[in-house]
Amino acid sequence: MTSVAEKVVIVGAGPAGIRAAEMLVSAGIKPVIIDEGIRAGGQIYRRPPDGFIRSPRELYGTEAEKAVALHTLFDRMVADEQVEYYPQSSVLACANRTLHALTPSGRREFGYNRLILATGATDRLAPVSGWQSPGVYSLGATQIALKAQGVALGRKIVLAGSGPLLTLVATQLLKAGAEIAAVLDTSSMATQMTGLPGMLARPGLVLRGLLMRAKLGRLYHAGVRSLGIYADEQGPVRIRWRNAWGAERVTDCDMVGIGWHLRAETQLAGLAGCQFDYDADWAQWLPRTDRMGRAAEGVYLAGEGLRILGADGAEVAGRLAAHACLYDMRLPVPDSSADLRRMARYERFARGMARAFPWPAEMVRKTSDDTVVCRCEGITAGQLRDGVDYGGAEANRVKSLARVGMGRCQGRYCQLAGAELIADRAGISVCEAGRLREQAPVRPAPIGAWVRDA
């Protein structure tokens, strides 16, 4: 078999997946692209459905040109039949060089010789008392609702957490005419300053962030602690918090958006055989790869599922992963040294950002026993701590005993808080508390799709 006859599959059609596809296409390869979105673009450059009329400038602000370039490139590759594109399709499992996916027309298997995973990221969540109430959403959800649907998820909104999305979503909502009651950042001004040296690798972005922050004025509070959401049957009614000086505050609201930066989506990478290392800056397990994104034999990673470097970094990582793939197929490749330099700069910036807006480890460790940690099944911090005491301080043991990580989201929104709580209870490091083993299917799958017709 010649190398060009090898089948390359890309999972994810965000910035990383699109740029990876572009490079493969330019080398004469026709990749399969499987994406969950209704339209390609990923999350940050998510496109509204047909019939929406806001301009790219309104949707993507300063990033409009980048978004349009990616969308145009992708649509052209699809129209010219340079890629085999499966939208609204979820890869559920990966074994023996075969992906098992659920497409709009049912179950489908995709064999591959080489696999590029560009699975992106989700919000990184920490448990807040009351966060299981209807009307509490992730910051990413808050932004998706605005961008892809033109709606606010409440009439009086509080945003809480830390990270670039907090300020960005707040300014976007204000501009669109939503009412924001408060923006609560758990990172103190002093902590934010510690990230500044690294963040100066991209001074333009720092300036843009500061200008956005200025627009929030007195709505923005740094160094916030002791968050607690109070809700009735309809949803949140107020949020209690302490300001940087310890004074208690109460803010009325009917919607709360929370999130602490992002968490790499790595379930398929794990199933495909990747190894993981705990990264202290990003406070999460990240896949082990070489600098091009090679993770295992024939498996390449790109974008935020590899490193949380933002959309620009994802584009570059997509090119590098495709580059590595082509090189391993013994095909000619362009020089990638400029992209590698870009990646190094983006990583300095992103690590600075991760330090400036850190995972709220202390807040998580103080989670009260009655606070829900697993939103899927309503399992509390107290039940998790009991699990640690009964069964030993290891995430997969605690999952078996207390079901934290067993629910429908498969630990995506409780795993990191769970590891923090296990580490605290047992007096060990978060790294020692361990990472949940991924299990297929990585999305809920209707049994009917696997039942063959008689």
12 in contact with another protein (CB under 8 A): no
Q: Binding another protein by CB under 8 A: which of 76, 291, 330, 408? A: 408
Q: Binding another protein by CB under 8 A: which of 39, 48, 56, 445? A: 48
Q: How far is the CB of 441 from another protein (least distance, A)?
A: 11
Q: How far is the CB of 75 from another protein (least distance, A)?
A: 18
Q: Binding another protein by CB under 8 A: which of 441, 443, 445, 449? A: 443
Residue 348 CA to residue 313 CA, distance in Å, equals 11
Q: Which is nearer to another protein, 205 or 372 (CB)?
A: 372
Q: Binding another protein by CB under 8 A: which of 123, 185, 315, 420? A: 123
Q: Which is nearer to another protein, 53 or 454 (CB)?
A: 53
Contact call for residues 122 and 14 (beta carbons, < 8 A): no
397 in contact with another protein (CB under 8 A): no
Give all strands (DSSP E) within 280-371, no chain letters: 284-287, 294-296, 299-301
Length of the chain: 454
237 in contact with another protein (CB under 8 A): no
Residue 222 CA to residue 87 CA, distance in Å, equals 40
**Residue 50 CB coordination number (10 Å):** 7
Give all strands (DSSP E) within 243-382, no chain letters: 248-252, 255-260, 262-264, 276-279, 284-287, 294-296, 299-301, 372-374, 379-380
88 in contact with another protein (CB under 8 A): yes
All residues at 6 or more sequence positions from 247 whose CB lies less than 8 Å from its CB, including other chains: none
141 in contact with another protein (CB under 8 A): yes
Stretch that binds another protein, among 15-23, 36-44, 274-282, 324-332 (CB under 8 A): 36-44
Residue 225 CA to residue 184 CA, distance in Å, equals 9
Which of 454, 452, 447, 453 lies closest to 102, judged by CA? 447
Residue 294 CA to residue 300 CA, distance in Å, equals 5
Q: Binding another protein by CB under 8 A: which of 51, 204, 332, 427? A: 51
372-374 and 379-380 strand pairing: antiparallel
Q: Binding another protein by CB under 8 A: which of 234, 275, 368, 429? A: 234
Cα 436 to chain centroid distance, Å, stands at 17
Contact call for residues 320 and 302 (beta carbons, < 8 A): yes
146 in contact with another protein (CB under 8 A): yes
The DSSP secondary-structure symbol of 129 reads B
445 in contact with another protein (CB under 8 A): no
Q: Which of residues 265-324 bind another protein (CB under 8 A)?
A: 265
Q: Which residues pair with 32 in a beta bridge?
A: 9, 84
Q: How far is the CB of 15 from another protein (least distance, A)?
A: 15
Q: How far is the CB of 275 from another protein (least distance, A)?
A: 23
255 in contact with another protein (CB under 8 A): yes
325 in contact with another protein (CB under 8 A): no
Q: How far is the CB of 46 from another protein (least distance, A)?
A: 8
377 in contact with another protein (CB under 8 A): yes
154 in contact with another protein (CB under 8 A): yes
Contact call for residues 384 and 433 (beta carbons, < 8 A): no
Helices 415-426 and 395-402, axial angle in degrees (round to 10) = 100
375 in contact with another protein (CB under 8 A): yes
52 in contact with another protein (CB under 8 A): yes
409 in contact with another protein (CB under 8 A): yes
Q: Binding another protein by CB under 8 A: which of 149, 368, 396, 429? A: 149
Q: How far is the CB of 345 from another protein (least distance, A)?
A: 28
6 in contact with another protein (CB under 8 A): no
Q: Binding another protein by CB under 8 A: which of 99, 144, 316, 430? A: 144
Q: How far is the CB of 123 from another protein (least distance, A)?
A: 7
Which of 92, 99, 93 lies closest to 10, judged by CA? 99
Contact call for residues 141 and 46 (beta carbons, < 8 A): no
Which of 18, 55, 80 lies closest to 315, judged by CA? 18
Helices 64-79 and 15-26, axial angle in degrees (round to 10) = 50
Which of 454, 417, 450 lies closest to 436, judged by CA? 417
138 in contact with another protein (CB under 8 A): yes
Task: Tell me which residue has tokens 């009260």.
Answer: 368
372 in contact with another protein (CB under 8 A): yes
Q: Binding another protein by CB under 8 A: which of 378, 396, 437, 450? A: 378
416 in contact with another protein (CB under 8 A): no
Binding site residues, another protein, CB under 8 A? 36, 38, 43, 48-54, 88, 90, 122-123, 132-138, 140-141, 144-146, 149-155, 176-178, 231, 233-235, 254-255, 265, 372, 375-378, 407-409, 412-413, 443-444, 446
